[in-house]
């Protein structure tokens, strides 16, 4: 650490569980408001005032302001039924306290209400959005000169956009094939070459459908570039060539017409393209498949291992089967921090599977990392100058008191996080582990040319000047969106840079809380209860199942978990003030998880048949996002309190079940 490098103090980041930093936040918010007021006053001061002091005496004016004040008090009262995300007693959903930087950044900017759909309405915050996206891309390791990324409303939209692009790049070679055929007269002496996944070159006009649907994304884009440049002598060529490609694209034709033409022109009705996801995938992938017209039936689940990570051998086996059936793979989606278990897929191994499939099976596909939850963990592997920290360094700085042989992150997890740099696209949610308000998701692509495949007003040429960045809206799924969200993330990244000493430290603190909670659950003496935690979490979500001799079926056990969850979650009948601790529940459903949950089921004393009959295993789920959970400053021991509450609620659930 350089001598001038002062590590962040978590105490200075948040308003605090008891609003300990209220004076700071108040000062900064007031500063932001006053500054905005000056700005208004100084914009054409010669205009004079519109609303006079006299006007403010009017009865209608006073009535309006009274209504506003009164109704605000009503709103404030209602908001107290909200959820105490700020408290270490809250280990429920993926929501935490927000950084003061994000709140002030949001509030200050909201007063200006910039719209980041186009820089014309957001001259400042569009730049910030692209800067923030570049920071996230640099954190994962994308080439800064090639990446493209932006903010969006959340992981759902980020995932959908990534799949939209993956789909279009998959079918791009077919569009090129048809465009070349259409313009054949002009291209007689200039065939269009393309690189095949095994490295050989071919002419695009000579490929069959299966080969066209197995061109690496980068090679397809290179061919598109080459196509647009085939006739440098003709100034109208590239424009016409782009239009020809577009006319023949899936974007223009839609799946129905596109599919009919495939069947007609190639006389080859290939099975529909599939999207591969791990069993742990977020439900946004099902939505995306439906919206994009792929159909949810084309969403294929790859089994996970007993650490809930996608099984590389299972992926390899599935790819071989798909290749044998000649079923194209549009994309493989991996998860860095699964929503239920925070499991991190071994991207390093899974990317090797793709490389082998390219070489041995001649098939390829877009590789996406859904790191909506875990993306920020990559900051742990970065020095302030951006260089990568070794595995040993990454461990050294962590607040885990663990022995070296079970230090966090282990070598596999470290390799998986570093391998993010080799993906084609990635989803990261600043509004989760980035500790900023909604809406703030982000999507990044390793190759900025990809965005042209979804651009609505076709740019025809890849002119990559700054003016091109002025209108983000043309390349993305959404339209109007808050510049305030961009400023909020931007200011937070200033205070907490994306390296081990900034965001990394915060992630490490939440990890420490999760690991302490995980060990405490295992070490606690539970009497007749049998607590079965999931394996040590990759990131900061701790899940556990609970058994008891009096619960003789898995169904009874699942019901007890449901009752405990009901007792420890917010609902219309249970306001937050009645709750000591808040957690959530999930079900490891047999349909999705297959064998992955069987070791847990066995430890609870049940069989695979019991599991299938019950349909799943209910586990309680604790998302540890609060850096103060085990900090020890407060008067209570939150972990102790949590364990006692869980025990009490299970005892109650047992009595209720009798």
Applying CB under 6 A, which residues contact ligand PLP? 154-156, 159, 282, 284, 335, 339, 370, 372-373, 429, 441
Taking CA atoms, 465 is separated from 28, 277, 469, 473, in Å, by 37, 36, 7, 16
Compare residues 99 and 284 and give the one whose CB is closer to ligand PLP: 284
Q: Can you tell me the distance from the alpha carbon of 355 to that of 261, in angstroms, rounded to the nearest whole number?
A: 31
Contacts of 90 (CB under 8 A, 6+ apart): 83, 84, 581, 582, 626
Tell me the longest C-alpha to C-alpha distance in the chain: 86
Q: In the complex, what is the shortest distance from the CB of residue 370 to ligand PLP, in angstroms, rounded to a whole number?
A: 5
Distance CA 294, CA 290 (A): 6
Least spacing, CB of residue 195 vs ligand PLP, in Å? 32
32/489 with CB nearer ligand PLP: 489
- Whichever of 242 and 373 has its CB closer to ligand PLP, that residue is 373
Least Å from the CB of residue 445 to ligand PLP? 17
Give the E-state strand segments of 468-534 in sequence order: 530-533
- Which contiguous run of DSSP H or E holds residue 130? helix 125-140
Going by C-alpha positions, the residue among 440, 448, 443, 540 that lies closest to residue 491 is 440
| 325 neighbors 303 (Cβ within 8 angstroms) | no
For ligand PLP, which is the closer residue by CB, 172 or 371?
Answer: 371
CA–CA dist 162, 567 (Å, integer): 39
Tell me how far CA of residue 291 lies from CA of 160, 233, 287, 453, 572, in angstroms: 8, 42, 6, 17, 32
User: 236 CB contacts (<8 Å, ≥6 apart)?
Assistant: none
Assigned token pair, 6:
């002062």
Nearer to ligand PLP, 486 or 654 (CB): 486
Q: Residue 329's beta-bridge partner residues? A: 274
Tell me which residue has its CB nearest to ligand PLP: 155
106 vs 606, beta carbon nearer ligand PLP: 106
Q: How far is CA 494 from the centre of its chain?
A: 21
Distance CA 402, CA 404 (A): 6
Give the shortest CB-546-to-ligand PLP separation in angstroms: 25
Q: What are phi and psi of 245, to 5 degrees?
A: -60, -45
Nearer to ligand PLP, 38 or 283 (CB): 283
- Is residue 515 a contact partner of residue 402, using CB atoms and an 8 Å limit? yes
Q: How far is the CB of 442 from ligand PLP (least distance, A)?
A: 10
221 contacts 169 by C-beta, under 8 angstroms: yes
Whether residue 105 contacts residue 435, with contact meaning beta carbons closer than 8 Å, is answered with no
d(CA 589, CA 412): 26
Taking the least distance from each CB to ligand PLP, the nearer of 125 and 623 is: 623
Instruction: Work out the burial of residue 85: count CB atoms within 10 Å of its CB; fewer than 13 is exposed, 13-18 middle, 19 or more buried.
Output: middle
CB nearer ligand PLP, residue 287 or residue 474: 287
* Token pair in block for residue 648: 């009490």
CB-based contact 639:630 (threshold 8 Å) = yes
Residue with tokens 């006319």: 247
Q: Which is nearer to ligand PLP, 136 or 172 (CB)?
A: 136
CB of 335 to ligand PLP, least distance (A): 5
Structure tokens at 517: 């909670």
Shortest Å distance, C-beta 647 to ligand PLP:
29
Q: How far apart are CA 196 and CA 362, in angstroms?
A: 8
Q: Measured between alpha carbons, how far is 417 from 428 in angstroms, rounded to an integer? A: 13
Q: Whole-number minimum distance, CB 280 to ligand PLP, in Å? A: 8
Going by their DSSP bridges, the two strands 530-533 and 541-547 should be labelled as antiparallel
**Nearest distance in Å: CB 338, ligand PLP:** 6
Closer of 311 and 370 to ligand PLP (Cβ): 370
The tokens of 22 are what? 């209220």
Residues in the chain: 658
For the bound state, the minimum distance from the C-beta of residue 116 to ligand PLP, rounded and expressed in Å, comes to 17
Q: Minimum CB separation from ligand PLP for residue 343, in Å? A: 10
Torsion, Cα 536 539 542 545, to 10 degrees, reads -60
Minimum distance from residue 159 beta carbon to ligand PLP (Å): 6
Task: Measure the CA–CA gap between 409 and 413, rounded to whole angstroms.
Answer: 6
Minimum distance of ligand PLP from residue 527's CB (angstroms): 35
Q: Are 247 and 258 in contact (CB under 8 A)?
A: no
Main-chain phi, psi angles of 457, to 5 degrees? -95, 105
CB of 372 to ligand PLP, least distance (A): 4
Q: Which is nearer to ligand PLP, 97 or 649 (CB)?
A: 97
- Our CB check for ligand PLP shows the closer of 373 and 638 to be 373
User: Which of residues 155 and 473 has its CB atom nearest to ligand PLP in the complex?
Assistant: 155
**Residue 429 vs 499, nearer CB to ligand PLP:** 429
* Closest approach of ligand PLP to the CB of residue 153, in Å: 7
């Amino acid at each position: 650490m350089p001598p001038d490098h002062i590590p962040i103090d978590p105490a200075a980041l948040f308003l605090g569980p008891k609003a300990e930093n209220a004076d700071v936040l108040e000062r900064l918010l007031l500063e932001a408001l006053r500054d905005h007021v000056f700005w208004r006053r100084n914009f054409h001061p010669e205009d004079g005032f519109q609303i006079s002091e006299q006007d403010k005496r009017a009865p209608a004016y006073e009535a309006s302001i009274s209504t506003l004040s009164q109704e605000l008090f009503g709103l404030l009262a209602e908001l107290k039924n909200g959820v105490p995300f700020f408290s270490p007693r809250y280990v429920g959903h993926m929501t935490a306290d927000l950084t003061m930087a994000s709140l002030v950044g949001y509030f200050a900017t909201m007063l200006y209400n910039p719209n980041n759909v186009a820089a014309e309405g957001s001259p400042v915050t569009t730049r910030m959005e692209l800067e923030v996206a570049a920071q996230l891309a640099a954190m994962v390791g994308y080439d800064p000169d090639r990446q493209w990324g932006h903010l969006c409303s959340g992981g759902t939209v980020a995932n959908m956009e990534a799949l939209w692009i993956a789909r279009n790049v998959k079918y791009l070679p077919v569009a090129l094939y048809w465009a070349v055929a259409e313009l054949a007269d002009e291209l007689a002496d200039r065939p269009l070459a393309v690189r095949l996944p095994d490295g050989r070159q071919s002419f695009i006009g000579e490929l069959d459908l299966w080969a066209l649907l197995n061109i690496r994304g980068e090679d397809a884009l290179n061919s598109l570039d080459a196509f647009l440049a085939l006739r440098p002598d003709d100034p109208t060529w590239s424009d016409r060539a782009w239009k020809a490609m577009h006319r023949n694209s899936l974007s223009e034709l839609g799946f129905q017409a596109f599919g009919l033409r495939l069947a007609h022109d190639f006389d080859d009705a290939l099975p529909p393209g599939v999207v591969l996801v791990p069993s742990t995938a977020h439900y946004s992938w099902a939505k995306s498949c439906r919206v994009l017209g792929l159909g949810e039936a084309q969403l294929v689940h790859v089994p996970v291992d007993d650490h809930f990570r996608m099984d590389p051998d299972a992926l390899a086996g599935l790819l071989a089967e798909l290749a044998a059936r000649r079923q194209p793979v549009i994309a493989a989606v991996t998860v860095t921090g699964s929503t239920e278990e925070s499991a991190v897929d071994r991207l390093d191994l899974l990317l090797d599977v793709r490389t082998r499939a390219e070489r041995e099976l001649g098939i390829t596909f877009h590789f996406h990392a859904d790191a909506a939850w875990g993306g920020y963990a990559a900051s742990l592997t970065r020095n302030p100058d951006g260089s990568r920290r070794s595995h040993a360094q990454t461990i050294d700085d962590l607040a885990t008191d663990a022995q070296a042989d079970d230090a966090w992150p282990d070598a596999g997890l470290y390799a998986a996080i570093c391998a993010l740099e080799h993906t084609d696209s990635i989803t990261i949610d600043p509004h989760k582990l980035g500790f900023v308000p909604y809406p703030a998701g982000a999507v990044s692509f390793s190759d900025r040319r990809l965005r042209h495949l979804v651009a609505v007003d076709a740019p025809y040429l890849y002119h990559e000047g700054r003016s091109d960045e002025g209108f983000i809206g043309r390349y993305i799924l959404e339209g109007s969106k808050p510049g305030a969200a961009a400023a909020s993330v931007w200011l937070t990244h200033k205070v907490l840079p994306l390296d081990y000493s900034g965001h990394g430290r915060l992630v490490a603190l939440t990890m420490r809380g999760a690991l302490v909670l995980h060990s405490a659950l295992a070490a606690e003496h539970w009497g007749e209860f049998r607590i079965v935690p999931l394996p040590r979490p990759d990131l900061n979500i701790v899940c556990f199942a609970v058994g008891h001799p009096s619960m003789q079926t898995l169904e009874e056990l699942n019901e007890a978990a449901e009752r405990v969850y009901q007792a420890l979650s917010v609902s219309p009948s249970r306001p937050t003030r009645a709750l000591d601790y808040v957690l959530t529940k999930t079900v490891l459903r047999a349909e999705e998880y297959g064998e992955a949950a069987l070791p847990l089921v066995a430890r609870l004393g049940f069989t695979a048949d019991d599991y299938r009959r019950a349909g799943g295993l209910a586990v309680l789920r604790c998302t540890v996002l609060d850096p103060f959970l085990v900090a020890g400053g407060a008067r209570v021991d939150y972990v102790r309190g949590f364990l006692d509450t869980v025990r009490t609620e299970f005892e109650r659930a047992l009595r209720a079940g009798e």
